[in-house]
Amino acid sequence: MKEPLIALIDYDMGNLHSAAKGLEKVGATVKVTDSTQIIADADAVVIPGDGAFDPAIKHLRQRELMEPLQGAIAQGKPFLGICLGLQVLFESSEEGTETGLGVIPGTVRQFQPEPNLTIPHMGWNHLELRQPHHPLWRDLPENPMVYFVHSYYVEPSDAEVSAAMVTHGSQTVTSAIAQDHLMAVQFHPEKSSHIGLQILSNFVNFTMQ
C-alpha cells in the first residue's frame, strides 16, 4: 500500500524534526512545507509547534497559510494539531491578542496558580479518554501516559469535541479534541514513547481509510 503523503507545516515554531521522524517511523511520507500546493495535494496535514500563540498566528499569516489550512479542514482532509498546533485552531488565547484559525469555537486559557502547582505543566501525565472509541486512541491502554510541556490549555465552547482530559493540580482540562477528520492534542506524541508512536500510527492509518 502506498505511504500517505503528510504535509508537515513549517511556520517557524519548532518541533518539526521530531514530528517528522515520528510520522516517518510509523509509515508516512512527510514533506516539511509552507506550500499551499503541497497542502492541497497531501493526503493529510499536521501542524506541530512550540512557543507562543501570537507569534504563531503572525507567522501563519506572513506565510499566507491561514486560508489554506482553514480550507483543508473545511474540505475534510485528515488533520492533526500537536501542542501549539492545537491552540492555533481556536478563536483566541489569553496569551495574546491575535485571532486564531477559529475552526474550533473556544479560547485558550492560562493555568491558574495554586500552591505547589508547577507552571508550565511539564512531564508525564495520564490521559482520561473522553472519546474512547475514536480511531486516534485505537490499541491504547485505558489511561495512557503521555508527555506534556505547556502553560496554556484549550477550552472549547462545545465540550463534546473534547477527546481527552488531563488533570494538573486541581484543574482538569481538555488535552485533546476530535471532530470527524480533525484531531489535535496538547501533549507531544513524538516525545511520548510507544504510546505516542501508536497515536501517530493511528492517525496515519486514519488517513488511508
Catalytically active residues, by annotation? 83, 188, 190
The runs of H, that is alpha helices, within the chain are 16-25, 36-41, 53-62, 66-74, 84-87, 193-207
Cell of 15: 518541533
Residue 90 CA: distances (Å) to CA of 87, 93, 104, 108, 115: 6, 8, 5, 7, 29
Judged by DSSP in three states, 27 sits in: coil
What kind and span of H or E run contains 121?
A: strand 121-126
- Distance, in Å, from the CA atom of 40 to the CA atom of 37, rounded to the nearest integer, reads 5
